[in-house]
Chain A
């Protein structure tokens, strides 16, 4: 889960990292008031969970409260890579002398936590690594002992830091590692780290925490903001359904992430547009699960056909068929289904659906391969 900039900054501040003065607003009027409070010269920053908001026009300076209001009128409500801006962070303008970079990541290749820092801030870390490989410094450390002082000292001296800058960097690196371990962050980043006459400040802040660990951090789980998510994705998450909205018209349901991805891919390959990715996961022995998944996919008004691709290795197929029938009985609208059912009692499952189809007039097509299913679904979607 990725936190918003303003949320991450609050956590940074709690741990003693300096942040610019600022407040969150949802209306241009609020922005104007906050700008007044901050002395007029501010930056208005869209709070969206995608990168590249600066280039998209989501970050603008204003030199008076009135200008701040005008800028906010443009930013609030704009769409950045499909994310609607509902909130902005209004911050004092900083007099930045230099921009540095400090980040932390769980390195999945080396299976170790790593701190990364550089004197070249303000651009993506990948870009720094590509353009200035000598300016990237990494500290891998033992997760068992945590980041030791000497490891930070060694890296900072080697990178040529000294005096006050050394002290400030040391402090921020230690605090960032502490934040990462406190909240089980996959990644946390200060980019740019602004060097100002008042010291080092986190001009931007990123904090991505591990979804699997959220049960240990209920205070973070509460921060997830409904407004940022696609409503169908949000509803799915609350129901425990693994659903990603894709915007096409062919609904996809499969059990297993790989199978669902492969199904989505082949629909695209056949010239169709998947409406969604849905991985039912296990637990299909309970017909309610399939029922809920199918009903959820049908909530998307763009869906013209649903391709159900189930490889029931444990589940018996009659349970899957039962779930499909329960959903069709309850569904508000009728769309054709393309079904590929493999596994224990697949013949029984198919018979049940065929019987239901002829009795109730439901349009259900059975296929033997994923390719055939995708072709049929794309054809039905028109």
Chain B
């Protein structure tokens, strides 16, 4: 089991001939991910790390039977790449690209209502089901197979937390980075639903941050969950009105404060950790 990706996931890399795309394709191959193709317009017929490159996503899917795509394309071209992936009927589209304009994202969501694809990101580190598959740029060493589902808005903070968990002997079923943009494709609630239904997942860790209402929405769903949830919220001491790195991490007026999120999560029965080390204790507490 695990969610979103496993040993059967067949992945194409959009932007595989670029610096990032090529580098990350190699790392995914090394991890054991089935990277079956790449796409760069005009580079069709070549190979990168032994993986065939195609001119279009449609062609890549027809030739390789891929069901998932990961996008390493600059922000100005990423929206087009996402539409192309949707159009080719891929099950899961992971977009790493940061800096896609909000109005493009509105249209991406508009299109999402008409297609069957799921979108992870943009501005996300991707997803890993330890020991099975990695579609993203998460560092291998932080993870090991286990029963904790992890869903997060951040990248390096999640690697840090998962490394602490792994060192403490707590493995993960799947780790999902939904990204730092204000309108992500898959949301906390979408991913929590999948973890709730996943047999391998026994408990869930949610890593949120200030800005927006994603954590409050998650809290509403957590109330109905049978599995225990531990949460951590970054940015409790952030000043209002300042964007803290991520496009979505900003307290606007009284909206998006850490206090409101922590209160909602606690009210829903989640265990909210104060520090990174408390996260490990909290997870150990609920996993027994």
Contact = CB atoms under 8 A, between A and B. Distances in A.
Interface of A: 50-51, 106, 108-109, 111-113, 124, 126, 142-144, 181, 184, 186, 210-213, 215-216, 242, 244, 246, 254-262, 264-266, 268-269, 274, 277, 279, 281, 311, 313-314, 342-343, 369-371
B110 A257 contact: no
Contacts of A342: 160, 163
A258 B275 contact: no
7 contacts: A126-B253, A126-B255, A144-B110, A256-B154, A261-B157, A268-B236, A274-B237
A136 to B, nearest CB: 16
Interface in B258-288: 274-277
B247 to A, nearest CB: 7
Nearest to B76: A215
Query: 5 closest Cβ contacts across the A-B interface?
Result: A258-B154, A257-B245, A256-B156, A258-B157, A313-B139
B170 to A, nearest CB: 16
Contact of A242 (B107, B158, B245): B245
Nearest to A50: B241
Q: Which of A112, A311, A369: most chain B CB closer than 10 A? A: A311
B49 interface: no
A246 B180 CA distance: 22
Interface stretch (B35-43, B50-58, B204-212): B204-212
A371 B278 CA distance: 10
Contact of B235 (A144, A213, A261): A261
Chain B interface residue bracket vs A? 35 or more
A264 B163 CA distance: 20
Contacts of A281: 245
Contacts of A212: 75, 99-102, 247
B234 interface: yes
A154 to B, nearest CB: 21
A328 B156 CA distance: 25
A262 B157 contact: yes
Interface in B218-271: 232, 234-239, 241-249, 253-255
Contact of B102 (A106, A124, A279): A106
A290 to B, nearest CB: 14
Interface centre among B109, B207, B234 (most CB of A within 10 A): B234
A109 B160 CA distance: 29
Nearest to A210: B102
A313 B247 contact: no
B212 A277 contact: no
B83 interface: no
Contacts of A369: 164, 276-277
Nearest to B232: A262
Given A244-B239, A259-B157, 13 more contacts: A111-B106, A143-B103, A212-B75, A256-B157, A257-B209, A257-B245, A260-B244, A262-B157, A262-B160, A262-B232, A313-B137, A313-B138, A369-B277
A381 B59 CA distance: 59
Nearest to B163: A342
A116 B107 CA distance: 21
A180 B214 CA distance: 24
A315 to B, nearest CB: 10
Contacts of B209: 257-258, 261
A242 B245 CA distance: 6
B153 interface: yes
A127 to B, nearest CB: 10
A142 B110 contact: yes
A210 to B, nearest CB: 4
Q: With a 10 A CB-CB cut-off, give which of A113, A124, A258 has the most chain B CB atoms.
A: A258
Contacts of A106: 102-103, 106, 183
Given A257-B249, A259-B154, A261-B209, A108 B183 contact: yes
B155 interface: yes
Nearest to B181: A212
B182 A108 contact: yes
Contacts of A216: 101
B275 A112 contact: no
B98 to A, nearest CB: 8
A108 B217 CA distance: 12
A313 B160 CA distance: 10
Given A112-B106, A143-B107, A184-B103, A258 B207 contact: yes
Contacts of B137: 313-314
B102 A370 contact: no
A124 B156 contact: no
A258 B102 contact: no
A255 B156 contact: yes
Nearest to B180: A257
A215 B76 CA distance: 10
A274 B241 CA distance: 17
A268 to B, nearest CB: 4
Contacts of B102: 106, 184, 186, 210, 212-213
Contacts of A210: 101-103
Contacts of B103: 106, 143, 181, 184, 210, 213
A313 B106 contact: no
A34 B4 CA distance: 64
Contacts of B164: 369
Contacts of B77: none
